[in-house]
Structure 1
Amino acid sequence: MLFLCIMRAKLSTKQEDIDMGLLRHLVLAALLASWCVVVGAQPYHGGLDALTRQQDFEARRESSSAPDITANGDARSIDAGETLVLADIDGPGCIVQFWHTVAAYDLFYGRSLLLRIYYDGNEHPSVLTPIGDFCGQGHGDMHRNITSEPLVVTGHGRSRTTFWRMPFHKHFKMTVTNEGDKDVDSFYYHLNWRKLDALPEDTAYFHAQYRQEFPAKPGNYTFLETKGCGHYVGTVYSAHQMEMGWFGEGDDFFYIDGAEMPQLRGTGTEEYFLDAWGFREYASPYAGVPMYEGVLPGDRVCVYRWHIKDPIPFRKSLKVEIEHKGSVFNEKGSLANFELGGFIERPDWLSSVAFWYQYPPVGLAEPLPPPHERIAPYRVLNPTGLAYRCEPPILVMPSELGLTYVPSSPRASLEVDFELKKPGRYVVSAVCMFGLVAGVYQPLLDGERIGEPIDFVINNYSPGFVSLDTHDLEAGRHTLRFEKVSNIVSSESRKLAPNFQAFHLVRLILLRLEDMAGYHEVYDTLLKGE
């Protein structure tokens, strides 16, 4: 920079007419400009360095806190069909953090609670998504921890915090609508935001949109299609698999500003989500796999990818797609004919949330399917309504929260009977309570062990989903049994804790795969063609 300033001075005047005073001023100006560039490059606008600067905003918060600050009733209820307004505030400002947790009898509230965000008095929301998927918790009943830059989920998936910046010029409104058929007893939340003096006119607004295809239609699956000027910043993607095999051979495609061919082309689903050679569960600041159950029909996947370090800008339009292709295996075949195909379009149940910034904000008018069509056709049973037995037959307490069994004995068992009207392939799972006074139990179905013993002991008290595998079952009565394992001591046990050896079955969940559209569709077609 200094050399260029001096050379320009020489070229613009005759050598003998150079004013040395002017030259000295040019040198000082060049040095000052260079110093400003270096200082301006320091990361004062974020992270720990920002804490060294005086802040130029007012800190504000909207929350579910009780009006009486000395009281402890800090949650809001949301009746079925009702809407809770979380924030209704004037700008200019910027939301910088949103935390919430939910207590509800609806196991699938992650899909039945619908989040909407409206900017500057717009009629249609610019954020329209089930609240679970917005927080990286797909499928409605998923509860997994996530640690990433814009999203942190803890408490076995129940404490959810987003740090997406949501600026607004005039007005910001956030609502949560309970579209389910059960009341939400407790919705705790807070939003931290900044009251600002002004924002640049072309400030980009935060957007998020949910989509689903149950099952996936022929052709690529679309994450987003929008018109305007902005940049794409993230994807949450969930798949409920309908075939045996690897579902993720499909490539991602980004069509920017109306291009006929994608400017960004991927090499496979797992590569887009920054993994390789399949998936395994992990979390990182910019990509992760909070759920990966496997390659069998009925297994589920949920992944995320944040384009924070690599946003994808567009000036006129953007279309983001992914192929839903993969392998299909012959479940009854030999090693010689085990793979029926390696790059076949699959009818898996797909859903997603696209995250992007855009100016001016756009409204999302596309209606979502009703809540019962956003989840698989699960059958949820309260065990208190089933025939149950225990040995020893003491301290069994039925309630709306299921069956609590406190045998206080190293040898104990609880079993429940359930009826099936149709034969089929069933995914069996349960919601159980984990706690300090619980025990280690072995699950069995119709007398056969299901996996390894389950340690229900934790130094806390929390519900959790328990996978009991996938089974081919006949119509009629079946028995699920939980046996206390006396020769295994939990690694979480405490010497002074009460020796209750408790077991608490909250709900039994059944899913018949034949009731899901697309199940074994490709498998059956390929077998007929052999």
Structure 2
Amino acid sequence: MITNILKRENRYCSMIKIFIFTFFVFSGHLSAQRLYSDPSFNSLIFPQNFTAQRESSANKDLHKNGDAVPIEPGATIVLGDFQGPGIITHIWTTVSSLDPFYGRSLVLRMYWDGSEKPSVETPIGDFFGVGHGAQISFESNPISTSSYGRAHNCFWKMPFKKSAKITVTNESTKYRTESFYYYLDWQKHETLPENILYFHANYHQQFPAKPGDYTILETAGNGLYAGTIYSVQNMELGWFGEGDDRFYIDGEEYPSLRGTGTEDYFGDAWGFRQFDRPFYGVSLWEGYFPGDRNTAYRWHIPDPVPFKNSIKVSIEHRGSVFNDLGVQLGSFIERPDWISSVAIWYQSPPAGFIEPIPPTEQRIAPYQVITIKDLEIRAEPSAGLTTSDISLDYSPGKGDASIELDFKIPEAGRYQINAFLTHSVFGSKYQPFLDDQPLGPELDLCISGHEPLWINFDLNVLAAGTHTIRFDGRGSSPDMRSMAVPAYYFGMGYLILLRLEDMAGYHEELNKLSK
């Protein structure tokens, strides 16, 4: 009997050991996936034969602050003009601008070894992994954003033999970039191998997508394909991602790399949802409805795609189409969504782009940006209300306050309603209404900070004329700090409308299928 008991205990001990071993191996795998161990860490234990260098927007007077540079509309600033050989290892930027879509208005360009044509040309927001000029935080291995999408970090390695020049151009015709902050960290080397490959990134768009596969990249040279940033703004109700990815290498007519669906290529399954991993993820996900904005990324760092002479990367833009009653009219339809992308690759010799990217007004959806000065505003109580041309601040000092804003639209249609609402340590709860009807859920505007954040109030069918948005106080937030002044604060910047009928391709397939 004692022998049997000991056998059972040994068996249980063995099972526990196996469980513990499996748990730690599995946990270690997850940790490795989330906290990918960069091989460059290995270099920290050996002496290095380079000189660390930095270009930044820092004030040259070490005793002063003022560490940013402005960029006037149409102007270009040079972030760095380096003499090689060298390797750029880190780029950080943040921006202060009244332009609500500066992520699409500011264009980043990089020139290698004295080339007159850029090897990197892309809107700055798309380069840092978020399309549409949107701002949102996400985390990946070579690219990350934080501070609600306002801080951008890049760790792609960018070698050059002779020289490197990096510029940013404010291609907005209306908005001045008030403050552009940046770091460029790089290494000055004595020599670099002759066979190094140069970093490239190129922006492409089709608004709306044309018949046939959407081309992400087509280039000639010798190199490695390294990453895709793919953005879609829906023109139909339904799922846009039934299309397959295809890689044509060195002139082949039939792709040697073929995918099984858009979400599969970006490491997800059964549609999209917002998530971030070191090498793949969905940095922005608003949904399946017309006007919704989405961005996915895929880094081929563990699995680069080599090519000797040329490469073409494309993807189908097929998916489902539903009518407004939720009836599916097709499941594998070529959709006219607004698609944009950034291809990232390394190649030699460096390629310069011949075709310029589209102008700013063609890179941004036809949003109507309504400023505070264009709104008719009423508040009860009226005490505590202050406004400027571009901002509204309301501190009524009571939890059941109410504020109304009248806006006019010239044309009837289906409108997506958005606003920049200020979330603050003094903020509280407010219920929005549109024309006396509830406009989405109750909002909690209390956070640790003072941040203007984009709020989407969904789609609404509006007649031409005047409409009213009202925010009724619903008391203090459960997150309100005990020492915070009970101001019951409400703040607002722009009201931003998007009339879907103004977007080329809207309901194009629905109208065909409904006949």
User: Residue 399 of structure 2 aligns with which residue?
Assistant: 410
User: Residue 272 of structure 2 aligns with which residue?
Assistant: 279
Matched, 1:244 2:237: yes
Asked whether the 8 Å contact 1:288–1:305 carries over to 2, the reply is yes
d(CA) in 1 for partners of 2:130, 2:253:
34
Asked whether the 8 Å contact 1:44–1:53 carries over to 2, the reply is no
User: 3-state DSSP class of the match of 1:444?
Assistant: strand
Larger CA deviation: 410-419 vs 121-130: 410-419
d(CA) in 2 for partners of 1:494, 1:212:
46
d(CA) in 1 for partners of 2:159, 2:501:
46
1:516 to 480, 503, 514: 503
User: 3-state DSSP class of the match of 2:89?
Assistant: strand
Offset from partner CA, 1:450-484 (integer Å, 9 cap, x none): 22111111111211101111111111111011111
d(CA) in 1 for partners of 2:418, 2:507:
21
Q: Give the Å deviation of 1:282.
A: 0.2
Alignment of 1:350-389 (within 5 A): 350-389=339-378
Q: Give the Å deviation of 1:400.
A: 3.4
CA gap of 1:75–1:272, structure 2 versus 1, over 3 A, is: same
Matched, 1:162 2:151: no
d(CA) in 2 for partners of 1:288, 1:244:
22
d(CA) in 1 for partners of 2:257, 2:478:
48
CA gap of 1:493–1:315, structure 2 versus 1, over 3 A, is: same
Offset from partner CA, 1:390-414 (integer Å, 9 cap, x none): 0111121111331111101111111
Bigger Rg over Cα: 1
User: 3-state DSSP class of the match of 2:39?
Assistant: coil
User: Residue 110 of structure 1 aligns with which residue?
Assistant: 103
d(CA) in 1 for partners of 2:216, 2:144:
22
d(CA) in 2 for partners of 1:45, 1:295:
36
d(CA) in 1 for partners of 2:365, 2:302:
35
User: Residue 412 of structure 2 aligns with which residue?
Assistant: 423
User: Residue 342 of structure 1 aligns with which residue?
Assistant: 331
1:304 to 297, 302, 308: 297
Q: Give the Å deviation of 1:491.
A: 4.0
Q: Give the Å deviation of 1:47.
A: 3.8
Q: 1:510 is matched by which residue type in structure 2?
A: L
Q: 2:160 is matched by which residue type in structure 1?
A: F
2:164 to 157, 164, 172: 172
d(CA) in 2 for partners of 1:151, 1:44:
15
Asked whether the 8 Å contact 1:92–1:195 carries over to 2, the reply is yes
Q: Give the Å deviation of 1:132.
A: 0.6
Q: 1:428 is matched by which residue type in structure 2?
A: I
Offset from partner CA, 1:86-120 (integer Å, 9 cap, x none): 00010000000000000001111111111100001
Asked whether the 8 Å contact 2:91–2:153 carries over to 1, the reply is yes
Larger CA deviation: 289-298 vs 72-81: 289-298
d(CA) in 2 for partners of 1:408, 1:178:
41
Q: TM-score, normalised by structure 1?
A: 0.89
Offset from partner CA, 1:318-362 (integer Å, 9 cap, x none): 0000000000012136xxxx1100000000000000000001111
d(CA) in 2 for partners of 1:522, 1:222:
21
Q: Give the Å deviation of 1:367.
A: 1.1
Alignment of 1:377-526 (within 5 A): 377-486=366-475, 489-526=476-513
Which runs of no fewer than 5 residues in structure 1 stay unpaired?
1-42
**Number of matched pairs:** 479
Offset from partner CA, 1:129-173 (integer Å, 9 cap, x none): 000100012101x11111110011000000000000000000000
Q: 1:427 is matched by which residue type in structure 2?
A: Q
Q: Give the Å deviation of 1:384.
A: 2.6
d(CA) in 2 for partners of 1:245, 1:514:
17
d(CA) in 2 for partners of 1:48, 1:313:
25
Offset from partner CA, 1:160-194 (integer Å, 9 cap, x none): 00000000000000000011021110000001100
- Percentage of pairs with the same residue: 52
d(CA) in 1 for partners of 2:478, 2:192:
54
User: Residue 150 of structure 1 aligns with which residue?
Assistant: 142
CA gap of 1:52–1:327, structure 2 versus 1, over 3 A, is: same
d(CA) in 1 for partners of 2:76, 2:410:
37
d(CA) in 2 for partners of 1:263, 1:270:
19
Matched, 1:121 2:114: yes
2:223 to 211, 222, 230: 230
Asked whether the 8 Å contact 2:374–2:407 carries over to 1, the reply is no
d(CA) in 2 for partners of 1:290, 1:332:
30
Q: 2:424 is matched by which residue type in structure 1?
A: G
Q: Give the Å deviation of 1:288.
A: 0.9
d(CA) in 2 for partners of 1:148, 1:311:
17
CA gap of 1:261–1:452, structure 2 versus 1, over 3 A, is: same
d(CA) in 1 for partners of 2:379, 2:38:
62
1:294 to 263, 284, 287: 287
Offset from partner CA, 1:29-85 (integer Å, 9 cap, x none): xxxxxxxxxxxxxx9993433211112211110000001011000000000110010
Offset from partner CA, 1:244-291 (integer Å, 9 cap, x none): 111100000000000010000000000000000000100010011111
Matched, 1:83 2:47: no
d(CA) in 2 for partners of 1:400, 1:97:
38
User: Residue 86 of structure 2 aligns with which residue?
Assistant: 93
CA gap of 1:73–1:216, structure 2 versus 1, over 3 A, is: same
User: 3-state DSSP class of the match of 1:500?
Assistant: coil
Asked whether the 8 Å contact 1:202–1:360 carries over to 2, the reply is no
Q: 1:490 is matched by which residue type in structure 2?
A: S
Q: Give the Å deviation of 1:370.
A: 1.0
d(CA) in 2 for partners of 1:330, 1:125:
44
Q: 2:157 is matched by which residue type in structure 1?
A: R
Q: Give the Å deviation of 1:382.
A: 0.8
d(CA) in 2 for partners of 1:476, 1:45:
57
Larger CA deviation: 460-469 vs 184-193: 460-469
Asked whether the 8 Å contact 1:148–1:287 carries over to 2, the reply is yes
User: Residue 126 of structure 2 aligns with which residue?
Assistant: 133
Asked whether the 8 Å contact 1:384–1:403 carries over to 2, the reply is no
2:199 to 193, 206, 227: 206
1:319 to 312, 320, 331: 312
User: 3-state DSSP class of the match of 1:525?
Assistant: helix
Which runs of no fewer than 5 residues in structure 2 stay unpaired?
1-35
User: 3-state DSSP class of the match of 1:132?
Assistant: helix
d(CA) in 2 for partners of 1:393, 1:491:
25
Matched, 1:192 2:185: yes
Q: 1:277 is matched by which residue type in structure 2?
A: W
d(CA) in 1 for partners of 2:479, 2:313:
46
d(CA) in 2 for partners of 1:118, 1:131:
16
Q: Give the Å deviation of 1:492.
A: 2.8
Q: TM-score, normalised by structure 2?
A: 0.92
